[in-house]
Amino acid sequence: VAPLDEFGLIRAWTEGRHTREFLESAGVRLGVGDDAAVVGASSGLEWLLTMDTMVEEVHFLTGTMSEADVGYKALAANVSDIAAMGGIPKFALVSVCVPPEWTAPRMGLLFEGLYACAERYGIAVIGGDTTSAPRHLVVAVTMIGTVEAGKAIRRNGATPGQFVFLTGPTGLSAGGLHGLLERRQSGNDVKAGGGPLPPPRLLQAHRRPVPSVKAGRILLENGWATSLNDVSDGIASEAWEIAEASNVRLALKEAWLPLSGELVSYAGVCGVPPLNWVLYGGEDYVLLGTADRSCEAEMKSRFREEGIPLFIIGEVTAGGPGVDLETDAGKLKPVFKQGYNHFPKG
Amino acid sequence: VAPLDEFGLIRAWTEGRHTREFLESAGVRLGVGDDAAVVGASSGLEWLLTMDTMVEEVHFLTGTMSEADVGYKALAANVSDIAAMGGIPKFALVSVCVPPEWTAPRMGLLFEGLYACAERYGIAVIGGDTTSAPRHLVVAVTMIGTVEAGKAIRRNGATPGQFVFLTGPTGLSAGGLHGLLERRQSGNDVKAGGGPLPPPRLLQAHRRPVPSVKAGRILLENGWATSLNDVSDGIASEAWEIAEASNVRLALKEAWLPLSGELVSYAGVCGVPPLNWVLYGGEDYVLLGTADRSCEAEMKSRFREEGIPLFIIGEVTAGGPGVDLETDAGKLKPVFKQGYNHFPKG
């Protein structure tokens, strides 16, 4: 394999992706190509900074996602972290560690997907790094967003009496991945025929997740959310983070959890209890948070106007950090502090 | 291997590393632990953003560097990129992709080294990401620095008649690595005895490089540098970048290149022409730049006062992008546009 021509490849992947007008209006003084990018600082704003990494064989396998999906999702996961603070995503830096199997054309497709996500959310890709790697692709993305000074929505403001909300159904991404891995294990190539594919909506949820920037902005602008997380590691894990940061108990109601019909019927086909995916499945990128009862009516009405789902799924109670689920039968079950294990070893 | 407890490990590696006073004075509103970090924006300043990644088997091997060295250097490489723009390093985000062999104690040592570098340069580590990986450690660092608005030193300002300068000798890191790899290849464990180790200064240069923040600041504050790069990929590669960005020719003089005595004698022992390391060896993290003749005396005097080396190593001439070397014998040799290949395949 010829040595990676780092500079040529970076140019091929990044040049001409943004117009000069877009970069200027975004405050980019200097983008890809020097030792560091330069951006302007605006008064009255604070910067949000986050970093999220995708590793081949851990977050995806050849066949579970196309090259473009990997690029799209690497950026989308970071957009979701900015959304979870109520911010606006602005800039991204992208580091790729490229093994021999990820040829230049394949990497080109990855960057196609990455820039498709950047364009959708108005993000300027302003720098990064490219190195070779012995095995398995790594895509590390840093995202910078803005937020009104002092207004970023944290995890530690939930107090007893407030309600727990969710901005969309969960478990879809985990269901989609489950199907892809089953097909793989049974020897059916994911791209070729053989064996039923998961419903398109579940595949789409896994491969092209939709971060909740608009929902985050509505929550911030109205000061509604007392805590907020994006569902990257599953409701259970995110609820635990809020419970611990706020030192409260989150009591979720099974009957109130949004269930996608497609998910339920596919879970039936697979013989998996859908609640496993709904509670412990990650990467749905909806928002989980808490808000005061006094805001409930106004919140519901505004989300309805915007066409964004809003589900009340439980309430905040006192009594030390914890999360439970009240089942449909009226029993209290503990919700475990665990996230989704993408690729369990056995 | 037990699954990586991401949150527990992140806490173990990052908690208590910075004092509250330091974080406040650094403008950190919210550090590690939420979806994103929050930092304040200051008027009159711009942000520098850069990302640099170290991959096991590409940038280091077990035995060429200790765990703490890997952490230190991962941060130092990014500090150097900020220095190359004349900026002040401020914040870092760190993403690690951890294979099973990198146990929690080994990762703890890595973070010891990383924070040692952070402390030395006054950098707040404000976020990051931790994932597992099937093989080979990856450490991706994003660094954010500040620079006076409009003043960042770029690569494109060199014009004919100016001189080329260098803020320290080069080739030391490459010489050190050469020795480490030779010992490895001959079956001598690097940590155990057997076979001569490279001189300590060369080992130190490879394992604990010293980014040139102070030199960068002096150049920026006085407006002296018309172009500037840090020597991460070797003089040859950095000179080519300046030549191309500025559309000029850089004529380097062999007689003017700084040669470390230790490097020359060790190169003799190894049977390697020292010029190979001096021109094509990377990761010395000194600064290479250009400046106007009218500044020469003042620059020299100021650098002498500060105790920072300053070598004039050539001049800028017209005639399209290119780099040559005038040899001691008075011949002109082309300098190739290539960086150092850490671990050539054969």
Given a cut of 50, is residue B346 above it in pLDDT?
Answer: no
Asked whether B306 and B167 are in contact (CB, 8 A), the reply is no
Place of tokens 């632990």: B33
What's the rounded Cα separation, in Å, for the pair B287 and B85? Answer: 10
Q: Which residues contact A119 (CB under 8 A, 6 or more apart)?
A: none
- Give, in degrees to the nearest 5, the angle at Cα B138 between B134 and B141: 150
What's the rounded Cα separation, in Å, for the pair A272 and A264? Answer: 9
CB atoms near residue B255 (< 10 Å)? 10
From chain A, pick out residues whose CB is under 8 angstroms from the CB of B29.
46, 150, 152
> What tokens appear for B258 in the block?
């700084």
* pLDDT interval class at B104 (50, 70, 90): confident
Mutate to test the interface with A, among B9, B35, B47, B337 (most CBs of A within 10 A): B35
Mean pLDDT over residues A43-60, rounded? 90
Asked whether B123 and B87 are in contact (CB, 8 A), the reply is no
pLDDT in tens, A220-233: 999 999 999 999 99
- Give, in degrees to the nearest 5, the angle at Cα A72 between B96 and B71: 15
Mean pLDDT over residues A116-141, rounded? 92
CB atoms near residue B19 (< 10 Å)? 9
A144 to B229: CB separation less than 8 angstroms, yes or no: no
Given a cut of 90, is residue A143 above it in pLDDT?
Answer: yes
Ramachandran area for residue B327 (φ above 0: left; ψ -120 to 50: alpha; else beta): beta
Minimal Cβ distance to A127: which of B40, B51, B132: B51
Min Cα–Cα distance to chain B from A84, Å: 7
> What tokens appear for B16 in the block?
């208590």
Given a cut of 50, is residue A194 above it in pLDDT?
Answer: no
State residue B217's pLDDT score: 98
Mutate to test the interface with B, among A34, A56, A60 (most CBs of B within 10 A): A34
Mean pLDDT over residues A178-184, rounded? 85
Q: CA nearest B126: which of B111, B137, B142, B110?
A: B142
What's the rounded Cα separation, in Å, for the pair A207 and A199? Answer: 13
Least confident range of A53-62, A95-104, A213-222, B124-133: B124-133
Min Cα–Cα distance to chain B from A346, Å: 12
What's the rounded Cα separation, in Å, for the pair A196 and A204? Answer: 15
Given a cut of 70, is residue A208 above it in pLDDT?
Answer: yes
Given a cut of 70, is residue B5 above it in pLDDT?
Answer: no
State residue B3's pLDDT score: 41
φ, ψ at A99 (rounded to 5°): -80, 165
> What tokens appear for B188 in the block?
């001598």
What's the rounded Cα separation, in Å, for the pair A28 and A318? Answer: 46
* pLDDT interval class at A193 (50, 70, 90): very low
Given a cut of 50, is residue B193 above it in pLDDT?
Answer: no
Pairing of strands A45-55, B37-40: antiparallel
For residue B1, give the chain A residue with the closest CA.
A345
CA A280 centroid distance within chain: 14
Tell me the three-class secondary structure of A87-98, residue by residue.
CEEEEEEEEEEE
State residue A29's pLDDT score: 75
What's the rounded Cα separation, in Å, for the pair A270 and A138? Answer: 31
From chain B, pick out residues whose CB is under 8 angstroms from the CB of A46.
29, 38-41
Given a cut of 80, is residue B195 above it in pLDDT?
Answer: no
Minimal Cβ distance to B131: which of A42, A53, A132: A53
Asked whether A309 and A203 are in contact (CB, 8 A), the reply is no
pLDDT in tens, B14-63: 777 778 888 888 777 776 666 667 776 677 788 889 999 999 999 999 88
From chain A, pick out residues whose CB is under 8 angstroms from the CB of B149.
40
What's the rounded Cα separation, in Å, for the pair B137 and B134? Answer: 9
Given a cut of 80, is residue A201 above it in pLDDT?
Answer: yes
What pTM does this model have? 0.90
Min Cα–Cα distance to chain B from A326, Å: 27
Least confident range of B174-178, B272-276, B341-345: B341-345
Top pLDDT among B272 and B182 is at: B272
Average pLDDT, chain A: 88
Q: CA nearest B59: which of B237, B209, B259, B161?
A: B209
- Give, in degrees to the nearest 5, the angle at Cα B22 between B19 and B25: 150
Q: Which residues contact A346 (CB under 8 A, 6 or more apart)?
A: none
Q: CA nearest B38: which of A302, A220, A257?
A: A220
Helix, coil or strand: residue A37: strand
A47 to B39: CB separation less than 8 angstroms, yes or no: yes
Mean pLDDT over residues A60-68, rounded? 91
State residue B218's pLDDT score: 98
State residue B9's pLDDT score: 65
State residue B184's pLDDT score: 75
* DSSP H or E stretch at residue A47: strand A45-55
- Give, in degrees to the nearest 5, the angle at Cα B121 between B115 and B124: 55
Instruction: Give the single-character DSSP code of A76.
Output: H
Count of CB pairs separated by less than 8 Å, A with B: 204
- Give, in degrees to the nearest 5, the angle at Cα A96 between B213 and B288: 30
A50 to B82: CB separation less than 8 angstroms, yes or no: no
From chain A, pick out residues whose CB is under 8 angstroms from the CB of B38.
46-49, 85, 147, 152
Highest mean pLDDT among A25-34, B9-18, B96-105: B96-105
State residue B1's pLDDT score: 30
* % residues pLDDT > 70 (chain B): 88
State residue B62's pLDDT score: 83
* pLDDT interval class at A288 (50, 70, 90): very high
Given a cut of 60, is residue A346 above it in pLDDT?
Answer: no
φ, ψ at B206 (rounded to 5°): -75, -40
State residue A170's pLDDT score: 97
Mean pLDDT over residues A157-180, rounded? 96
Average pLDDT, chain B: 88
What's the rounded Cα separation, in Å, for the pair B288 and B302? Answer: 17
Helix, coil or strand: residue B119: helix
State residue B189's pLDDT score: 52
B154 to A81: CB separation less than 8 angstroms, yes or no: no
For residue B83, give the chain A residue with the closest CA.
A35
* pLDDT interval class at B2 (50, 70, 90): very low
Angle between helices B67-83 and B213-222 (to 10 degrees): 10
Mean pLDDT over residues A28-52, rounded? 77
B142 to A51: CB separation less than 8 angstroms, yes or no: yes
Ramachandran area for residue B286 (φ above 0: left; ψ -120 to 50: alpha; else beta): beta
* pLDDT interval class at A6 (50, 70, 90): low
Instruction: Give the single-character DSSP code of B254.
Output: G
B94 to A145: CB separation less than 8 angstroms, yes or no: no
Asked whether B139 and B110 are in contact (CB, 8 A), the reply is yes
Min Cα–Cα distance to chain B from A201, Å: 26
State residue A37's pLDDT score: 73
Top pLDDT among B35 and B6 is at: B35
> What tokens appear for A329 in the block?
């039968």
State residue A19's pLDDT score: 84
B51 to A97: CB separation less than 8 angstroms, yes or no: no
Given a cut of 80, is residue A43 above it in pLDDT?
Answer: no
